[in-house]
Structure 1
Amino acid sequence: MNGSRAWRAYLLAGAAGMAVFVLLPYGMPRDVACVLGGLAAVTAMLCSVARRRGGAVLPWTLLLLGQLAMTAGDALWVYYQHVAGTDPFPSAADGFYLLEYPLVAAALFTLVRRRRPSGDREAWLDGAIVAVGLALPYWVLLGPDPGGHDSVLTRVITLGYPVGDMLLLAGLAVVLTVTGARTPALRMIVAALGFLLAGDVLFVLVDDPAGLALPVDVLPYLLSYLLWGAAALHPSAADLLRAGTEPVTFLTPRRLLVLTAVVLLAPGTLIVQLALGFELDSWAVAIASVLLFLLVVARMAGMLRRLEEQARRLDEIARTDTLTGLPNRRTMDAQLAREYERAARDAVPLTLALIDLDRFKRFNDTHGHQAGDALLSGAATAWSLALGGGDMLARYGGEEFVLLMPGRDPDGAEHLLAALRAATPQGQTFSAGLALWDGRETPLELLNRADTALYAAKEAGRGRTERAAPGGGRLSGAPVRDAAG
Structure 2
Amino acid sequence: MGRWSTSLGLGCFYLLLAVVDLVPSRTGWGLDPARTVRFATYAAAYLVLMGSIAWALRRHPSRRNAFTYALLVAFGVYTVGDYVSDLTVDLVYGHDRQLADPGDALMLGAYTIALTGYVRLVARARERVSLARTLDTMILTVALGTLAWITLVVPGLRSPLFQGHPSSAIVCALFPVLDLVLLAVGAIRVMSRLPVSWGAIIGLACPALLLVGDCLDFANLIRDRQAPDAAHVAWLLAYGAVAVAVNAPAGANLGTGARELDARLTARHHVPWLFGMGMLPVGVYGWQLVHAPSGGSVPDGSALSVSMLLMFALVVARAAGMLRTSDQQSEVLEVLARNDHLTGLPNRRTGDAELGRALLRVEQTGEPLSVTIIDLDRFKAFNDSFGHHAGDELLVGCAHRWSDLLGPAEVLARYGGEEFVLVTVGLPTSAVLDLLDRLRAATPRQQTFSAGVAQWQRDDSAADLVARADEALYAAKANGRARTYLWETRDRAVDAAGGASGARHGSGGRSR
Give the TM-score, by structure 1 length.
0.80
1:201 equivalent to 2:215? Answer yes
CA deviation digits over 1:258-301, x for unaligned, max 9? 54433332122112222333852112212221222222222222
| 1:78 alignment partner in structure 2 | 86
Aligned residue runs from structure 1 range 81-480, under 5 A = 81-86=89-94, 89-111=99-121, 117-144=127-154, 146=157, 154-180=165-191, 182-206=196-220, 207=223, 209=225, 215-236=229-250, 247-251=262-266, 256-277=271-292, 280-340=299-359, 349-358=368-377, 376-388=395-407, 390-425=409-444, 428-437=447-456, 441-469=460-488, 477=496, 478=498, 479-480=502-503
1:33 equivalent to 2:48? Answer no
Gaps of 5+ in 2: 25-31, 254-259
The Cα shift of 1:380 comes to 3.5
CA distance in 2, matches of 1:46, 1:482: 72
Contact 1:202 1:217 in 2 (8 A): yes
- Letter aligned with residue 23 of structure 1: V
Q: Secondary structure at the match of 1:197?
A: helix
- Letter aligned with residue 126 of structure 1: D
- Letter aligned with residue 28 of structure 1: R
CA distance in 1, matches of 2:248, 2:479: 75
- Letter aligned with residue 185 of structure 2: V
Q: Secondary structure at the match of 1:394?
A: strand
CA distance in 2, matches of 1:234, 1:476: 71
CA 103–367 in structure 1, closer or farther in 2 if over 3 Å, else same: closer
Q: Secondary structure at the match of 2:412?
A: strand
Contact 2:183 2:207 in 1 (8 A): yes
CA 112–174 in structure 1, closer or farther in 2 if over 3 Å, else same: farther
Identity of aligned residues (%): 31
Higher relative contact order (CA 8 A, sep 6+): 1
The Cα shift of 1:471 comes to 11
CA 80–457 in structure 1, closer or farther in 2 if over 3 Å, else same: closer
CA distance in 2, matches of 1:397, 1:218: 67
CA 270–460 in structure 1, closer or farther in 2 if over 3 Å, else same: same
Gaps of 5+ in 1: 240-244
CA deviation digits over 1:405-443, x for unaligned, max 9? 334322222222122223445554333233444677554
Q: How many residue pairs get matched?
A: 477
The Cα shift of 1:65 comes to 2.9
Contact 2:440 2:448 in 1 (8 A): yes
| 2:18 alignment partner in structure 1 | 18
Q: Secondary structure at the match of 1:178?
A: helix
RMSD (Å) for aligned C-alpha atoms: 4.2
1:64 equivalent to 2:68? Answer no
CA distance in 1, matches of 2:134, 2:368: 57
Give the TM-score, by structure 2 length.
0.76
Q: Secondary structure at the match of 1:218?
A: helix
Q: Secondary structure at the match of 1:322?
A: coil
Q: Secondary structure at the match of 1:65?
A: helix
Q: Secondary structure at the match of 2:266?
A: coil
CA distance in 2, matches of 1:358, 1:31: 83
Q: Secondary structure at the match of 1:117?
A: coil
